[in-house]
Amino acid sequence: MIVYNVRTTPDSVGMSQTAKKKGKKVAQPSSQQWVPPQVPLAPDLPSQRSQQTRWGQPMMDILLDVLSEEVSKCGRRADNGFKADTYQLVANAVNAKLGMTINSENVRSRMKTLKKEYAVAKRLLEVSGFGWDSVNKTIVNADANAWAAYIAVRIR
């Protein structure tokens, strides 16, 4: 149900006194104030989409530890990525060590994001003017023109 609420004063008529005498309506500010409709909110419904999992450094450390252990000891890696049960192992380890409730789908999604970020970093390192700083473990850019050239090619 929509409720409109207008507050008025007894002498607010929307016409000036001279206009009343001549019988003309003249636009004039009145003391009426419009109050926005008061619409009752819908009850809280379950979201169609779950909350995004924010991966902090402790979670990333556990992810990398479990994945490296799985590759080195068990060889649990398919040709194009990790198997579903490996993602569940990572989720179980994060949940046990950090008291969280993530699932294998959260881990799979994070791996997908990491692959995209890796591809961008790899492309940058292949471009002239970019390099790797092994001390700080970051990509460095020695030339401002390299950024301009990289962006010009990528943004179309």
Does residue 51 lie within any of the structural domains? no
Strand-pair partners of 33:
7
DSSP per-residue string spanning the chain: --EEEEE--TT--SS-HHHHHHT-------S-EEEEEEPPPPPP---SSPPPPP--HHHHHHHHHHHHHIIIII--EETTEE-HHHHHHHHHHHHHHH-----HHHHHHHHHHHHHHHHHHHHHHHSTTEEEETTTTEEEES-HHHHHHHHHHH--
The residue that leads in pLDDT, 7 or 61, is 61
pLDDT score, position 93: 96
Same domain, 67 and 106: yes
What would the pLDDT profile of 21-45 be if each residue is shown by its tens digit? 555 555 554 555 555 556 555 555 5
Same domain, 17 and 81: no
Same domain, 86 and 20: no
Same domain, 21 and 88: no
Does residue 97 lie within any of the structural domains? yes
Same domain, 22 and 89: no
Does residue 86 lie within any of the structural domains? yes
Domain that residue 89 falls in: 57-154
Does residue 144 lie within any of the structural domains? yes
Query: Whole-model pTM?
Result: 0.60
